[in-house]
Structure 1
Amino acid sequence: MRRLNKCKIRILLIGVTRLVSELCIRNDHNALLVQAEFRNKVSVDWFNPLYWGRNAVPVTSGGRGGAWFLHIDGGDYVLREYRRGGLTSRVLRRTYAFVGEDRVRSVMEFRILTTLFAQGFPVPRPVAAYYLKLPALRYRAAIIIERLADTTPLAELIDTRSDADWHRLGQLVRRFHDANVRHADLNCFNVLVRGSEFFLIDFDKGCIMPASKSSRWKNGNLKRFARSIKKIAGEQVLNKVWSAFEHGYNGSVTA
């Protein structure tokens, strides 16, 4: 494969004083965004699960497929391809319209995760983002993030969480909302649990909303999450846990 060139460092201002660097590597068809500490390590091959052989294990829970757990040099990561759902996926399963690099889905997710991780939010740290430009102004994309160790999707643990857990989760979602962070698909598979800790993953199509915008999207987020609980565990469980979640979200001191 052709060696990538034209390297540059892009500096992003996070908050007021903190700087985070990303390494941009591109040629005529491929582009990589890499956390600076992974420079001279990540290549286009990293985004091909076949390259890793037995060190790439398919992720079986949630999503639309196209994700693998990677074990690289003693570290654990997740490789995820961007794939469509619904009727469109029958024709354009893995390709998207290219309207500029800043609108590429892997690039957008890489940058929002970089921002949130630097600000101390419980999200996975991004390692690298990739996209391949195709004819007719199309592209394919993928992202690699660090794997959150010893975590389990909330979808597998709904019946085991206490009121105090749901209260903490409500507080966490409120923390994201207060920072105007919009998660585009808040569901029980995109919340990971480690003991009493919660993490949000999969920020594809997520964004930081302008403070001047209407806050109706927050209610939409909550309704989507409630529908996910109901779909997985049933209305009775939803009614049982939602009160504690709302107390946490609305700032109540006790669950």
Structure 2
Amino acid sequence: MRLAALQQKNGLILHDADSLSDASASHQLSSPTHPLSTALFEADYWQSRGLVVGEAPGRGSSLFLQARDHEQWVLRPYQRGGLIAKVSKQRYVWLGAERTRAFREVRLTAALYEQGLPVPRPVACCVTRFGLTYEAALLTVRIPGARALASLLSAGEADEALLTRVGAMIKRFHQAGLDHVDLNARNILVDRQGEPWLIDLDRCRLRSAGQWQERNLARLERSLVKFDASQAMTAIRQGYRVI
């Protein structure tokens, strides 16, 4: 994976050069037909070409895109939640490119991906500056056929074996030092083979071992309560201890 930066007018794009160059076989994202530009991070670009194939639940309104013949991407805009969203839903304070949420998430995701950990392959992110503020969006490869753990729990399709694998996965990330500040049942996906993945690394970071690991698990447990699945935490913790 080769991360490269591109500056275009007021837009800064940090991208995986390999992913975008390979795309020339289908949509030719690096060609004059589909140039690498800020437009790739706007819903209108993909909708006008009939390439939006779905939408994920959640406040960010992530879109699923048919980026290649056999590969889909996820376009996720960075959006605020809570009371601060009433003031500004999409704008963040500009403190430099490397301190933007998008650049931090892409670099972190790429580092974990390179270690073989189950995170989606990052494709690119875009930061558009507006003086003292900025907006951002992220493109990642969609995990084929994946469903959120929350959905599986609600449907009664998460058995003990799966939950044990979820716990083992979380432990792997903790051993790598990942503090996932929003570990919840929606940010854990399960692919067609029943293997769990971790998504949405916004505001996450790498740290030395500490009490944050238990805080991650406690946050996950609170999210399970919302799906009437608090009992699932027993198997998750069992898998967490085994590895």
Answer yes or no: same fold by TM over 0.5.
yes
Which residue among 224, 227, 230 is the counterpart of 1:238? Answer: 230
User: 1:148 Cα shift?
Assistant: 0.4
1:201-254 Cα shifts (integer Å, max 9, x gaps): 111111111x2xx6111111001100111112x2xx312x222111111127xx
1:82 to 78, 85, 102: 78
1:247 and 2:238 are equivalent in the alignment: yes
Q: Single out whichever of 25-34 and 171-180 deviates more from structure 2.
A: 25-34
2:4 maps to 1:23? yes
CA distance in 2 between partners of 1:29 and 1:58 (Å): 29
Which of 9, 15, 26 aligns to 1:34? It is 15
CA displacement 1:42-63 (0-9 Å, x = unmatched): 32111111111221245242x2
Mapped to 2, the partners of 1:27 and 1:42 lie a distance apart of 9
| Kept in 1: contact 2:105–2:203 (CA 8 A) | yes
Bigger fraction of residues in strand: 1
Determine what percentage of the aligned residue pairs are the same residue.
33
Which of 28, 37, 44 is matched with 1:43 structurally?
37
Q: CA deviation at 1:21?
A: 2.0
CA distance in 2, matches of 1:92, 1:100: 19
Residue among 98, 105, 111 paired with 1:102 = 98
The total of aligned residue pairs comes to 224
Q: What letter corresponds to residue 24 of structure 1 in structure 2?
A: A
> What TM-score, normalized to structure 2?
0.87
Aligned equivalents of 2:9 and 2:67: distance in 1? 28
Question: Aligned match of 2:60 in 54, 62, 65?
Answer: 65
The alpha-carbon distance between structure 1 residues 60 and 168, as it changes in their structure 2 partners (threshold 3 A), is: closer
- Whether the 8 Å CA contact 1:59–1:65 is kept in 2: the answer is no
**Gapped runs of 5+ residues in structure 2?**
22-29
1:198 counterpart letter in structure 2: P
Q: Distance in 1 between matches of 2:230 and 2:114?
A: 33
> Is there any run of 5+ residues in structure 1 with no aligned partner, and where?
1-19
- 184-193 or 66-75, larger mean C-alpha shift: 66-75
In 1, distance between residues paired with 2:217 and 2:171? Answer: 10
Query: Given that residues 56 and 64 in structure 2 are in contact (C-alpha distance below 8 angstroms), is that contact kept between their aligned partners in structure 1?
Result: no
Counterpart-to-counterpart distance in 2, 1:245 and 1:73: 36
2:140 to 134, 140, 145: 145
1:62-90 per-residue CA deviation (whole Å, 9 max, x = no partner) reads: x2133111112312000000000001001
Does the CA contact (< 8 Å) of 2:38 and 2:126 recur in 1? yes
Contact 1:33 1:130 in 2 (8 A): yes
- CA RMSD in angstroms, aligned pairs only: 1.5
Is the contact between residue 66 and residue 83 of structure 1 (CA under 8 Å) also seen in structure 2? no
Change (3 A) 1:139 1:58: farther
Q: Which amino acid aligns with 1:188?
A: A
- Counterpart residue number, 2:201: 203
> For 1:149-188, what aligned pairs fall within 5 Å after superposition?
149-158=144-153, 159-188=156-185
State the TM-score, normalized to the length of structure 1.
0.84
Runs of 4+ in 1 over 4 A off after TM superposition: none
- The alignment partner of 2:166 has SS state of helix
Task: For 2:87 and 2:65, locate their aligned partners in 1 and report how far apart those are by CA, in whole Å.
Answer: 29
Q: Which residue of 2 aligns with 1:5?
A: none
- Show the counterpart of 1:14: none
